[in-house]
Amino acid sequence: MKTTPVFVATAVVLGAILAGACGSSSDSEFADPNGASSGGPGSSSGVLGGGTGDASSKPCTGLCLQQKTCAGGGSTTVSGKVFDPAGKVPLYNVIVYVPNAPVAALTSGASCDRCGDVSGDPLVSAITDTSGKFTLTNVPVGAKIPLVVQVGKWRRQLTITNVAECTDTPLTTEQTRLPKNHTEGDIPKMALTTGGADAMECFLRKVGLEDSEFSVGGGAGRVHFYAGSPSGNTTTAKFDGAHGGASFAPAQGFWSDASQLGAYDIVLLSCEGQTYPATKPQPALDALYDYTTKGGRVFASHWHRFWFDPRADNNGAVMGTTKFGDLGTWNDDNGFSNSIAATVDNTFPKGKAMEEWLGNVGALQADKLPIDGAKKNLETVNPANAQQWITYAGPQAVEYMSFNIPTGVPDDKKCGRAVYSDLHVSAGVGDTPGPAWPGGCKTTELSPQEKALEFMLFDLSSCIQSDQAPPTPPGTVK
């Protein structure tokens, strides 16, 4: 198909000068202008890499000149499904777009990233549905068409070899899955604290991250381990010999230090088996809250409810002060003796999407989510400050909730996000803490409750918006 020679020549020169972007092909039309992977000197701040605002009045330049009018109301389309890094589970609410300008680098660390424009002046854009599918319409025609697949700071850039006029160009799973390692694209910088009662350190392997992306704090990987408390059980606190044998630094020093917390995009807290208030003094409570107000994202499992409800186990003694606000009604009932069939709250847009998505990925049984290791520490949520996602009615319990931070302020003033899971993620699947990572990781497939967590992980990763509004694609050049 004939293209516009002047633009193609210019784009090739740009690609040569700007090559080396995170996840870009070496011949990408628009590459990272800083040549950095997952951020670096001169990078643009923010999860979206420096959006450019409303582009509706911009003249038609660049790839816009390669858009074609099709006979009979047809369109030039690109379609596919976006998958997790493992290429197994399709993902909801992932942005897919054709950029019409260089795509800026992402920086690591807490940043206030509200939903809106993405970097690169998107020419056409879409978001994936609950089956992971997307279709881009009115795609520019020709060779080397750039494409960006992004949810939060997970981002992959690729180049479509050729887009044919007025027909569909389907993409493969290998093209559209999220990156397994930082050489394929951007991965958020995550801290994961281990604990004696759960094995979340195995979960991200199942999502598809390669072992090379796991390291101790300060290491080269995109996931850094810190050792939590054991509750009398083995806690994973080091790598096995095949992975270097290094010991994890204690979690207390990490989560008590605002500067250490602030270096991460996401903090994942695996249940320790007790609240361990001595390891979470007031400076730590304050530091985690301050981290989230700057845009940090937190996932907390079971007894890590202490960050939001700082009482010691069962005795009601207040051990600190939380700034997160009134999130709901808490207690310390230790949990259910058997597995439960939980209900997904479908009364808000993302909840309805989660229910549909869980059905699509085979996680529901008779429209319910089976959960092993479910607890009853959170009875109800305060709807003014938090959103329940998955509940159980007898007795009343909330198994998943989320909230944007700070609470009690307008949506356009919120920067951070937290998810609380009142269950043990690894229960019932055979994964256990320790003795050395990844020795306790026995399984490779996600259980139903782990699939629910995968949905919540990528929702936690995404840009901040009200849960009461359905996601929409970013603005595009008209």
Average pLDDT over residues 332-342: 86
d(CA 181, CA 207): 12
| pLDDT tens figures, 7-60 | 333 333 333 323 333 233 333 343 333 333 333 322 333 334 444 444 456 799
Q: Are 253 and 287 in contact (CB under 8 A)?
A: no
Residue 157 contacts residue 103 (beta carbons within 8 Å): yes
If we measure between CA atoms, which residue out of 474, 470, 473 comes closest to residue 352? Answer: 470
Residue 449 structure tokens: 């409750």
Most confident of 100-104, 315-319, 331-335: 100-104
- For CA atoms 406, 309, 191, 253, give the dihedral sign: positive
Four-CA torsion 300, 301, 306, 311, nearest 10 degrees: 160
**Taking phi first (over 0 means left), then psi (-120 to 50 degrees means alpha), and beta for anything else, what does residue 428 get?**
left
Euclidean distance between CA atoms 183 and 256, whole angstroms: 31
With vertex at residue 266, the alpha carbon angle to CA 218 and CA 469, rounded to the nearest 5 degrees, is 160
Structure tokens at 51: 């959006």
Is the confidence at residue 375, as pLDDT, over 60?
yes
Q: State both tokens at 476.
A: 């595009």
Please state, in angstroms and rounded to a whole number, the distance separating the CA atoms of residues 305 and 273.
11
- pLDDT for residue 116: 85
Summarised one tens digit per residue, pLDDT across range 131-184 is: 999 999 999 999 999 999 999 999 999 999 999 999 999 999 999 999 999 999
Angle at 160 between CA 94 and CA 101, to 5 degrees: 70
Percentage of the chain lying above the pLDDT 90 cut = 79
| Domains recognised in the chain with CATH numbers | 5-176 (2.60.40.10), 190-336+373-445 (3.40.50)
Output helix, strand, coil percentages for the chain, rounded to the nearest 5.
20, 25, 55
CA nearest neighbour of 461 among 268, 254, 303? 268
Query: What local confidence, expressed as pLDDT, does residue 21 receive?
Result: 30
Cα–Cα distance, 346 to 434 (Å, whole number): 37
**pTM, entire model:** 0.88
Residue type, 425: V
pLDDT at 49: 47
How many Å apart are CA 143 and CA 140, to the nearest integer?
9
Q: Tokens at residue 146, please?
A: 């750039």
- Tens of pLDDT, residues 234-271: 899 999 999 999 999 999 999 999 999 999 999 999 99
Q: Encode pLDDT of 379-394 as tens digits.
A: 999 999 999 999 999 8
pLDDT tens string 394-418: 889 999 999 999 999 999 999 999 9
User: pLDDT at position 476, please?
Assistant: 60
Condensed to tens digits (0 to 9), the pLDDT of residues 466-478 reads: 998 899 888 764 4
What residue type is 355 in one-letter code? E
Report the pLDDT value the prediction gives residue 56, as an integer from 0 to 100: 54
Q: What is the pLDDT of residues 262-299, one digit of tens each?
A: 999 999 999 999 999 999 999 999 999 999 999 999 99
Indicate whether 5 pLDDT > 90.
no
Q: Which residues of 383-402 are buried (b: 16+ CB within 10 A; e: fewer)?
A: eebbbbbbbbeeeebbbbbb
Average pLDDT of the residues in 183-206: 96
Q: Convert the pLDDT of each residue in 201-210 to its tens digit.
A: 999 999 999 9
